[in-house]
Structure 1
Amino acid sequence: MSQSTPYNATGRRKTAIAHAWLTPAEEGKTGRITINRRGFEEYLPTIQLQNTVLQPFLVTNTMNKYNVTIVSQGGGIHGQVGAIRMAIARALVMVDEAYRSQLREQSLLTRDSRMKERKKAGRPGARKRFQFSKR
């Protein structure tokens, strides 16, 4: 039994960062996904979040062909899911360059640059103003 070198990639979304390692699944076994040493279904409680993470596999038709180990940190659950999805998509491109066009078409390789706007000085929030008083 020979272990092949895992394909690794990094994804980011908001303040979350995810590192993914893909290794080919063994013959006769389905690919398993581990996030922060916990099971995939345990870490992501809703079907919507689980489907978001599986989207790169669905687009490239590689479901259950790879074991995925993910280390995710920072941000909230939705930011982490976006970072995980991007990391998996980038790792799949490293596996086979032909997947790039399929993933690019679904915007899975594009970094979502939207971040929380910083609080400005002299204001209670990023955009909120103190109440105006005429008198």
Structure 2
Amino acid sequence: MLTRYNNKTIYSGTGRRKKSIARVQLIPGSGKLIINGLPGESYLQFSPNYLRISCTPLNILGLDKEYDIYVKTRGGGLTGQADAIRLGLARALCNINLENRMMLKSEGLLRRDARIKERKKYGLRKARKAPQYSKR
């Protein structure tokens, strides 16, 4: 989605993973990452893996320092949120230029990971864990 605010163009995308939802906004700028009002490094606990996962679409397209990323995320844990940010960022980059879509799609960054927690079944302790069997 494309909106304008203070004569700046804002590109947005939504990403989901497990219970996490991330709303990503791209604004032309210097390349800073802000997640829920905090710098991205501190929000993701200075984990290089989470930072790498979150910014993968920008790295693939070579747009590392061209856009500021503002993210509102909630639900789940850091792994799900990092993956949700990656999907939302990829979708926002597709709104900027349709040629970006082909590169991101070939890398598999536009595919939503549909694996979620399986529901608990009655008679079982968890989704699949059965009570211990006792022969006598």
Q: TM-score, normalised by structure 2?
A: 0.92
Say whether 1:36 aligns with 2:36: yes
Instruction: Please list every run of 5 or more consecutive structure 2 residues that lacks an aligned counterpart in the other structure.
Output: 1-5
Alignment of 1:71-86 (within 5 A): 71-86=72-87
In the aligned structure 2, how far is the partner of 1:24 from the partner of 1:95?
11
1:3 to 7, 17, 33: 7
In the aligned structure 2, how far is the partner of 1:3 from the partner of 1:79?
33
2:83 is paired with a residue whose SS is helix
Q: Tell me how many residue pairs correspond in the alignment.
A: 130
The one-character-per-residue Cα deviations of 1:13-59 (angstroms, maximum 9, x if unpaired) are 0000000111111xxxx221100000011111210110111100011
In the aligned structure 2, how far is the partner of 1:115 from the partner of 1:34?
26
Say whether 1:19 aligns with 2:23: yes
In the aligned structure 1, how far is the partner of 2:18 from the partner of 2:86?
13
Q: TM-score, normalised by structure 1?
A: 0.93
Cα shift at 1:134: 2.0
Cα shift at 1:5: 2.5
Give RMSD over aligned pairs: 1.0
In the aligned structure 1, how far is the partner of 2:100 from the partner of 2:57?
9
Cα shift at 1:11: 0.2
1:69 matched residue in structure 2:
70
Say whether 1:53 aligns with 2:54: yes
In the aligned structure 2, how far is the partner of 1:49 from the partner of 1:110?
18
Cα shift at 1:4: 2.0
Structure 1 stretches of 4+ with a deviation exceeding 4 A read: none
Amino acid at match of 2:116: M
The structure in which a higher percent of residues are strand is 2
1:98 is paired with a residue whose SS is helix
1:134 is paired with a residue whose SS is coil
